[in-house]
Structure 1
Amino acid sequence: MKKLILLLVLISFSCKEKDANAAAQSEVLTAAEYKAAISETQVQLVDVRTPEEYAEGHIDTALNIDFFRDDFKSAFATMDKDQPIYIYCKSGNRSGKAAKILSELGFEEIYDLEGGFSNYN
């Protein structure tokens, strides 16, 4: 009986872990797909580069939330988790990490720019 209970508990945790991992997915869009998506409607668009990188050039209407900020997670508190969020960085590395964090925060639709801002223009 104890073995059966243990088995059921392990299966339960396993299923929950799979569901959490499924939610952790983000979609990487090509530059053309990304441009089309952010131009269709007003979207939540976030540049996760440093303020210095942002100042050198960014996508119009992008909000700058530096990935390296101590309060990176809390900076998204006022954003709508039920609406798509589009993120980018310089090359796609930081935004990929940011996508995982946003998923953990409860964002459901996360879109990342393939190759980052360097690939956008």
Structure 2
Amino acid sequence: MSFIDFLFGNTSVSDKISILDKQAYAKAIAGKKVQLVDVRTSREYAAGHIKGAVNIDFFRFSAFESAFDTFDRSKPVYLYCQSGNRSQKAARRLLAMGFEEIYDLRGGYATWKR
């Protein structure tokens, strides 16, 4: 992936992790039952979150992995955090756990609520 693609395109860390802008992300989760996960702390989640998201704190390492054991690894997972940094780290962990299709919200919740 080129630097230009990273800045302006549909960014992908791997072929299984895609970073979507706000509009594409909203369209992907709208009106569907999806595996939508907020990886921020419970305090951040309580202050506001995307409707339908479950909270699995990235920083609670053992709880993080065990919480995802109940998810279907063959179905897409939609992640977000506050800015996009934690969710990218979470996406890489999920990839290592065997998840096949992971989507991340570019700019995180800060972008969503704008």
Indicate whether the TM-score tops 0.5.
Answer: yes
CA distance in 1 between counterparts of 2:89 and 2:51 reads 23
* Cα separation, 2, equivalents of 1:33 and 1:67: 24
Task: Give 1:94's aligned residue.
Answer: 86
Structure 1 unaligned spans of 5+: 1-20
Q: Does 1:70 align with 2:55?
A: no
- Answer with 1 or 2: which has the greater Rg: 1
Q: Which runs of 4+ in 1 moved over 6 A?
A: none
Partner of 1:103: 95
What's 1:7 paired with? none
Q: Which runs of 5 or more residues in structure 2 are unaligned?
A: 1-12
The sequence identity of aligned pairs, in percent, is: 54
Query: What is the deviation of 1:40?
Result: 4.1
Residues matched between the structures, number? 100
Q: Comparing both structures, which one devotes a greater share of its residues to strand?
A: 2
> How far does the alpha carbon of each residue in 1:53-80 deviate from its partner, in whole angstroms, 9 at most, with x for none?
0000000110000000132112100000
The structure richer in helix per residue is: 1
Pair 1:61-2:46 in alignment: no
TM-score by length of 2: 0.83
Alpha-carbon spacing, 1:35–1:74, altered in 2? closer, same or farther (3 Å): same
Letter in 1 for 2:88: G
Q: Which of residues 104, 110, 113 in structure 2 aligns to 1:118? A: 110
